[in-house]
Structure 1
């Protein structure tokens, strides 16, 4: 709800992502999460480094920069999408929702805008409203796989895993072997303690062209929860800055030391983007 609603645990938490990277709405930027570029992605040319590689201070400065463009013209569609995406990446979910409410007023039938609006609603905890918004953005005659995946991510957060997995499979029928969808499907099984199945889907996701770091981080989590921590740590340190890698490894270690690991994961997942 990275991005196409994609969920990941990179940066400060393993389960902080798009999708929905989750909302694999990452829609995501699909990236918001991290690869995203499909809804509200950030133009990388605007900064000296990719947003995925920025630390908290750099993300905050980038948000301020994009915010000034939005202030100059609040009805600018691209500025609003970019600003809301950056706000979500810095944890300012209520503000991101306020921005997207304004953008949606100006573009009430724009599918990308509606998708980003739904993602912001989910990030702010308005899950039922987000589900309605995403459903409204979908068109039965030309279904969008990113919206299917985003819908699945929201359903997972609502505890409706069976319906969520059906949406992921529908997304894969449209976009076979899409790594962000396979990752969301794997995380759905992980949150229900089926770690072997989760690992199977996540390994498949990692093996696809275009799989990004967030997918690998989710695989590391699934492996770590099975007690194979050295293997998980090796994966968690790939392709990330030192600070990001240390944050992920620290989070993984904290999860492994707790009896209520799944309860904590489910709680953190509520804040997934």
Structure 2
């Protein structure tokens, strides 16, 4: 499960903290307007509800089956599947497209990120390496490579990727958010808080950056402030439930408590099953 797929949505309180820690993507959430715009179609999903997205995705599937070699159609169909958290199906569509467009960096980047969403981290890293270019790097690809390194437990490598991405796109809040979570995973919570505050203060920041800041504040024991930050995007009751759930997870989970121990011998990888990457 990603923290947000499609436009920002509220997760079950018991999953918020877990999903936030694993929401280390290198790009913004899937936007349905981007999907429709990419194929030049005036059609829009009937609604953002699961059924509306399913019906819209079905229309794209039919178009894709008629034109399987059309890049724009395949990319749009894959994005619609990702918006529904059908990441393995999206990866299969993009794999076929990548076979036919093996040097297309846009296709390879989308394929690599979708593999990461599907939990195929080693394959994703390999594909994203092909999508990256030292001569003309793409910040979102570099950041995605960092997110995979974080999920594989190599936080030093991840932070180097994020630093590179920020040189390409200074102040990009999604990269700052990734970097802040990486510091948290490395048990450097004060530094994580500073970076996430910078991310949340960006005019381009969305709910994801603010909720990740709330998570780190909760890890530091600043529960009242964490609730205030969370309530910027959520109803007060939902914000209280989210922070209470994070507090409960911290108290019941050794890996989460380890994050709060800066002098522990060695960072441990947090191995949390969230159903999808």
Instruction: Determine the structure 2 residue equivalent to 1:23.
Output: 25
User: Which whole-Å CA distance do the structure 2 matches of 1:16 and 1:9 have between them?
Assistant: 12
- Which SS does the other structure have where 2:35 is aligned? coil
User: Which whole-Å CA distance do the structure 2 matches of 1:250 and 1:60 have between them?
Assistant: 33
Give yes or no for the alignment of 1:129 onto 2:123.
yes
With normalisation by structure 2, the TM-score equals 0.76
Q: Residues 185 and 272 from structure 1, CA distance in 2 versus in 1: closer, same or farther, beyond 3 angstroms? A: farther
Does structure 2 conserve the Cα–Cα contact (< 8 Å) formed by 1:9 and 1:218? no
Q: Which moved more, 1:210-219 or 1:185-194?
A: 185-194
User: Which whole-Å CA distance do the structure 2 matches of 1:186 and 1:204 have between them?
Assistant: 9
Q: Residues 23 and 197 from structure 1, CA distance in 2 versus in 1: closer, same or farther, beyond 3 angstroms? A: same
User: Which whole-Å CA distance do the structure 1 matches of 2:55 and 2:255 have between them?
Assistant: 34
User: Which whole-Å CA distance do the structure 2 matches of 1:55 and 1:102 have between them?
Assistant: 29
- Which SS does the other structure have where 2:271 is aligned? helix
What RMSD, in angstroms, separates the aligned Cα atoms of the two structures? Answer: 3.5
| Gap regions ≥5 residues in structure 2 | 260-268
Instruction: Determine the structure 2 residue equivalent to 1:42.
Output: 35
Instruction: Determine the structure 2 residue equivalent to 1:227.
Output: 221
- Following superposition, the deviation at residue 243 of structure 1 comes to 11
Instruction: Determine the structure 1 residue equivalent to 2:69.
Output: 75
User: Which whole-Å CA distance do the structure 2 matches of 1:215 and 1:272 have between them?
Assistant: 20
With normalisation by structure 1, the TM-score equals 0.77
Does structure 2 conserve the Cα–Cα contact (< 8 Å) formed by 1:123 and 1:270? no
User: Which whole-Å CA distance do the structure 1 matches of 2:75 and 2:245 have between them?
Assistant: 30
Alignment of 1:77-226 (within 5 A): 77-226=71-220
User: Which whole-Å CA distance do the structure 1 matches of 2:158 and 2:275 have between them?
Assistant: 17
Q: Residues 257 and 21 from structure 1, CA distance in 2 versus in 1: closer, same or farther, beyond 3 angstroms? A: closer
- Following superposition, the deviation at residue 215 of structure 1 comes to 0.8
| Gap regions ≥5 residues in structure 1 | none
User: Which whole-Å CA distance do the structure 2 matches of 1:164 and 1:9 have between them?
Assistant: 26
Rg: which structure is higher? 2
Paired residues, number: 253
